[in-house]
A and B are shown apart, each in its own frame.
Chain A
Amino acid sequence: MDLKKIPHIEEIGNRGVCSGKVTKTSATFDERTKGENKIVKDLKTAILASGLKDGMTVSFHHHFRNGDHVLNFVMDTLAEMGFKNLTVAASSLAGVHAPLIQHIKNGVVTHIETSGLRGELAEEISRGLMEFPIVFRSHGGRAAAIESGLLHIDVAFLGAPSCDPYGNANGYSREDDDGIACGSLGYARTDAKYADHVIVLTNHIVPYPNAPFAIPESSVDYVVEVEDIGDPAGIMSGATRYTKNPKELKIAETAANVVEAAGYLYNGFTMQMGSGGASLAVARFLRQKMIDQGIHARFALGGITSQICAMHEEGLIDKILDVQSFDLDAALSLKKNHLHQQIDAVYYASYLHNSAVNKLDFVILSALEIDTDFNVNVLTGSDGVIRGAIGGHPDTAEGASLSVIVAPLCRGRIPCVVDHVQTVITPGAAVDVLVTDQGVAVNPNRPEIAEKLKAAGIRVTTIEKLRDRAYAEVGMPDPIHYTDKIVGVAMYRDNTVIDVIRQIEE
C-alpha cells in the first residue's frame, strides 16, 4: 500500500502501513495471566520498586477514619527502611495517627498536608513539634492542588477493602464479605489518578475483575496483600445515630424551616448535610416536609449517611453523589443501590471545574465558632489547639446557593458566637445564615433571605445580638496566648492562604 496516494495522509494520525502480524495466544485467561499481575510479595518490595526517595511526597486517604491501620503501617515501614524528610499528604488525619509524632521527631516526616488533625498529634503540633508549618486544605482545595500540580504526589499508598490482582480496587467487596467496608473511595481516587506511583494495600484479594471498582487498574502500579488494613469498628459504626438531644433537634428543626422559608425546598432541589448531630438531624425535618409537600430531591451530595440512603430508598432523593460514606449503611447502599454514585474529590469540589458543590441549592454545616463577620472556624478549639478538620466546609459554603451554619450559642461554658474566630476557615462572604438554639441571624449580604424568613414567621435577629447573649450567658473568655511561631497554614478552597495557626503559649 502506498500511503502517499491517500489524500491528506500527513494530516491523519497514523503509524504507517499495517504489517499483518499480530500477537495471538491460545492460552486460557487463567493460564496467560498466571504471574502477570501487580501483586508484589510485600510492602518493602513495592516501595523499592516505586523509586521513592528521601524528600518525596507520600499520600494517604482517610476513608478508614479512626480505624485506619494503613498509614501507620506504611510510615513504620518507611522509617525502618531509612527514609527521611518525607512529606505526608493525607486527605485527613485522625487520633489513630499519633505514631507520626515519633516519625516527625526522627526526621522521617518533615512536612504534613491534611484536611484535619486531632488527638495527640494535633496537641503536639499545636505546641510546636514541627519546623515546617502544616498545610491545611479543604477537600476541594486538595483535589485542585493535586490536579494542578501544586501538590505533587510521588507515591500514593491507598488502603482498599477489596482489590483484584491487576489493581482494580474498591471500598467494599462484592465477593464473600469480610466485614470491612468503607463505601466510597472518593478521596483515594484523586490520589490514584494523579500520583506518579500508586500502591494499593488490601486485606482482600478478589478475582479479576473487581467490578464495579473505585480505582481502575490503569492507575495502580503495585498491589500488596496485608493482614490488616484497619479496625472495622473504627472505620464505621452501623448507622449514624439520630440525635435525641433536644437542643440539637430544635436547631435542626429551625434550620429546616429556614431552608424552606428561603425558597430552596422545591421539587428537584439539591442538598448536602455536613457532619455533626444538629446538621445531620436536619434531614429528618426536611424528610417530613418533602412527604407533606410531595416533593423530592434531585440529588444529595457529600459525606453520605444512613439517613440520606433511607430517603433515597423511600424515593425522596433521586440520586446520591458520594465522595465519602459516613457509616456502614451508607457503604452498603453504595453497593446495592445503582443510583448511589461514587464520585472523586475533583468531581466533588475542585474549584477548577464546575464541580458538584456548585450545583447545590443548600448545605447545612457545623461550626466550632462563628464571628460577627460570619467567618467560621472548624479547625482550632477554644484553647487554640488544633482539633478539627476543614473537610468540604468552604467548598460547599461557597458552592451552595444557601449555606446554613448550625451551632449552639454556647458549648458548656464556651461561647460559639464570638467577636473574632481563632482561625478563619470559611470566610463570612460564603456564609448566609446562622441558626442557633437561641435565634437565627442572616448575613447582611443576603437581605432578601432575611425578608423571606421574616415573612414566613421566623424571628430573625442580628449576629451581634447573638454574640451579646452568648457573652451574657457564659462570659467573655480570656484571650488565648500564642507564640510568634506559625505551626499551620490554612488554605481557602482556591489554595490562597486564608489564615495561619500559631503555637500556643503555656
Chain B
Amino acid sequence: MKRYTKDRLRRSMMFVPGNNPGMIRDVHIYPADSIMFDLEDSVAYTEKDTARLLVYNALKTLNFGNKEIVVRINDLSSGLGVMDLEAIVPAGVHVVRLPKTDSAQDVIDCEKEIARIERKHGIEVGSTGMMAAIESANGVLNAREIAHASDRLIGIALGAEDYVTDLKTTRADGIELLFARSMILNAARSAGIAALDTVYSDVNNEEGFIAEATLIKKLGFDGKSVINPRQIAPLHKVFMPSEKDLNKAYAIMEAIEDAKKRGSGVASLKGKMIDKPVVLRAQRLIALHEAGLRMDDGED
C-alpha cells in the first residue's frame, strides 16, 4: 500500500531539525499540512547520526495524526544519504525529500536505493513517495526532466538559498527567483505533481512573509515551506479563498448539479457555459476553503 497520496493539500510544509527532540515531539500540534524532518542542512555534521536515530525513533513511536511525514535526506554523493534511507524507509516515512537535485538521474539513483531497501524489508516496492528539491541553475534548467523522472514524485520544490548563491545573487524582493519559480511550476504542472515554494527565513517579518506567500499563490504554487509554527496561520490565510470566489464556486457547483438533474450534459451560469477547467477550479477552491475552516488541532 502506498504511504503517500499524490493529490492532497500541501499549503504548508513545516521544517523541523532532525536533532531537536522537543520540536520533533511537539510539531504535530501545529496545523501544517506536512511535516518535514530534516537530516540535511539544519543538522551539523557531528549531529548526523543523532538526528537519523532520533527521526527513526520518532517515525516508529510518535503519532502525527493525519499529517504527511516527509524526511529530507542528505544527498547520496555525501555517503550519508543511503544511511538516511536505510533508517527512514523501514521506519515508515511517507515521502523522501531529495535535496540538491540537479538532474533526472539524481531522482532515478535515489529511487533505486529506496526500491532496494523496500525489497530488503519486505515493503511493497513503490510504497514510499519522493519529492525533489531543486537548488541550482542546472536543476532549474532540468526541472521538466526531474519532474517526470519517477512515478513516486509527489512534487518538486524550490530551495532558494543555494539557488541564489549559484546564480551569484542574494534573496531580495523575489524578482531573482521568478524564473526558477516559473520553471518549477510549469515543470510540476506538466508532470501533474505539486509545486512547492522555498522557505522565508525572517520569521519576525510577518508582512514580508505574507507578501511572498501571496505572490507564490498567485503564480500557482500549491504551498510553501515554513520554518516556524507562527508562519502557518498567515500562510493558510493567504490560501483561504475570498468570499466572492467561494460564492462563485458554489454557484458553479449548483449549476452543475442542476444540469445533472435535468439530464443535461451542458451546464451554464449567467448565460455562460461552464467548461471542465472551471469546474475543476471551483472544486479546488471549495476543498481549500473547507481545509482552511477546519480547526486543525489534532485528532481526538
- Mark A residues whose CB is within 8 Å of B: 244, 246-247, 249-250, 254, 410, 412, 437-439, 457-459, 461, 465, 472-473
16 residue pairs A–B, Cβ–Cβ below 8 Å: A244-B230, A247-B29, A250-B29, A250-B30, A250-B229, A254-B297, A410-B25, A437-B26, A438-B297, A438-B298, A457-B295, A459-B297, A459-B300, A461-B300, A473-B25, A473-B62
With A247-B29, A458-B295 already in contact, the answer to whether A412 and B63 are too (CB < 8 A) is: no
Q: Check if B63 sits within 8 Å of A472, measured CB to CB.
A: yes
Residues of B within 8 A of A465 (CB): 300
- Mark B residues whose CB is within 8 Å of A: 22, 25-26, 29-30, 62-63, 228-230, 295, 297-298, 300
Task: Tell me how far the C-beta of B239 lies from the nearest C-beta in chain A, rounded to whole angstroms.
Answer: 19
Chain A residue with minimal CB distance to B230?
Answer: A246
Bound-state CA distance A83–B30 (Å) is 58
Q: Check if B297 sits within 8 Å of A246, measured CB to CB.
A: no
Bound-state CA distance A415–B282 (Å) is 45
With A437-B29, A461-B300, A465-B300 already in contact, the answer to whether A246 and B228 are too (CB < 8 A) is: yes
Bound-state CA distance A417–B25 (Å) is 16
Bound-state CA distance A250–B31 (Å) is 10
Bound-state CA distance A437–B63 (Å) is 15
* Contacts A246-B230, A249-B230, A472-B63 known; 16 new A-B pairs at CB < 8 A: A246-B228, A247-B26, A247-B29, A250-B29, A250-B30, A254-B297, A412-B22, A437-B29, A438-B297, A438-B298, A457-B295, A458-B295, A459-B295, A459-B297, A459-B300, A465-B300
Q: Check if A439 sits within 8 Å of B63, measured CB to CB.
A: no
Residues of A within 8 A of B228 (CB): 246
Task: Tell me how far the C-beta of A411 lies from the nearest C-beta in chain B, rounded to whole angstroms.
Answer: 10
Looking at chain A's contact residues, the main secondary structure is mixed
Chain B residue with minimal CB distance to A408?
Answer: B26
Residues of B within 8 A of A254 (CB): 297
Residues of A within 8 A of B297 (CB): 254, 438-439, 459
Bound-state CA distance A438–B300 (Å) is 9
Residues of B within 8 A of A461 (CB): 300
Q: Check if A246 sits within 8 Å of B229, measured CB to CB.
A: yes
Bound-state CA distance A247–B28 (Å) is 11
Bound-state CA distance A412–B22 (Å) is 7
Task: Tell me how far the C-beta of B299 lies from the nearest C-beta in chain A, rounded to whole angstroms.
Answer: 9
Q: Check if B63 sits within 8 Å of A246, measured CB to CB.
A: no
Bound-state CA distance A406–B140 (Å) is 48
Residues of A within 8 A of B300 (CB): 439, 459, 461, 465
Task: Tell me how far the C-beta of B86 lies from the nearest C-beta in chain A, rounded to whole angstroms.
Answer: 26
Task: Tell me how far the C-beta of A221 lies from the nearest C-beta in chain B, rounded to whole angstroms.
Answer: 54
Bound-state CA distance A249–B29 (Å) is 12
Bound-state CA distance A62–B193 (Å) is 63
Bound-state CA distance A465–B298 (Å) is 13
Bound-state CA distance A439–B295 (Å) is 11
Bound-state CA distance A249–B230 (Å) is 9
Chain B residue with minimal CB distance to A465?
Answer: B300
Bound-state CA distance A459–B296 (Å) is 9
Residues of B within 8 A of A457 (CB): 295
Task: Tell me how far the C-beta of B146 lies from the nearest C-beta in chain A, rounded to whole angstroms.
Answer: 33
Bound-state CA distance A154–B101 (Å) is 79
Task: Tell me how far the C-beta of B293 lies from the nearest C-beta in chain A, rounded to whole angstroms.
Answer: 9
Bound-state CA distance A72–B51 (Å) is 48
Residues of B within 8 A of A249 (CB): 230
Residues of A within 8 A of B63 (CB): 472
Task: Tell me how far the C-beta of B177 lies from the nearest C-beta in chain A, rounded to whole angstroms.
Answer: 27
Chain A residue with minimal CB distance to B28?
Answer: A438
Residues of A within 8 A of B22 (CB): 412
Bound-state CA distance A3–B126 (Å) is 113
Residues of A within 8 A of B230 (CB): 244, 246, 249
Task: Tell me how far the C-beta of B201 lies from the nearest C-beta in chain A, rounded to whole angstroms.
Answer: 16
Residues of B within 8 A of A438 (CB): 29, 297-298
Bound-state CA distance A249–B234 (Å) is 14
Bound-state CA distance A225–B22 (Å) is 50
Which of B62, B228, B229: most chain A CB closer than 10 A? B229
Residues of A within 8 A of B30 (CB): 246, 250
Which of A438, A458, A472: most chain B CB closer than 10 A? A438
Residue of B25, B62, B229, B298 touching A439 (CB-CB under 8 A): B298
Task: Tell me how far the C-beta of A70 lies from the nearest C-beta in chain B, rounded to whole angstroms.
Answer: 39
Chain B residue with minimal CB distance to A460?
Answer: B300
Bound-state CA distance A132–B63 (Å) is 48
Task: Tell me how far the C-beta of A413 lies from the nearest C-beta in chain B, rounded to whole angstroms.
Answer: 9
Task: Tell me how far the C-beta of A415 lies from the nearest C-beta in chain B, rounded to whole angstroms.
Answer: 12
Task: Tell me how far the C-beta of B24 lies from the nearest C-beta in chain A, rounded to whole angstroms.
Answer: 11
Task: Tell me how far the C-beta of A432 lies from the nearest C-beta in chain B, rounded to whole angstroms.
Answer: 19
Residues of A within 8 A of B295 (CB): 457-459
Task: Tell me how far the C-beta of B175 lies from the nearest C-beta in chain A, rounded to whole angstroms.
Answer: 31
Residues of B within 8 A of A458 (CB): 295
Bound-state CA distance A412–B62 (Å) is 15
Task: Tell me how far the C-beta of A467 lies from the nearest C-beta in chain B, rounded to whole angstroms.
Answer: 14
Bound-state CA distance A461–B298 (Å) is 11
Bound-state CA distance A465–B300 (Å) is 8
Residues of A within 8 A of B26 (CB): 247, 437
Task: Tell me how far the C-beta of B240 lies from the nearest C-beta in chain A, rounded to whole angstroms.
Answer: 16
Residues of B within 8 A of A439 (CB): 297-298, 300
Which of B25, B230, B297, B298: most chain A CB closer than 10 A? B297
Chain B residue with minimal CB distance to A257?
Answer: B295
Bound-state CA distance A410–B29 (Å) is 12
Listed from nearest, the 5 A-B pairs whose CB atoms lie closest are A246-B229, A437-B29, A461-B300, A246-B230, A438-B29
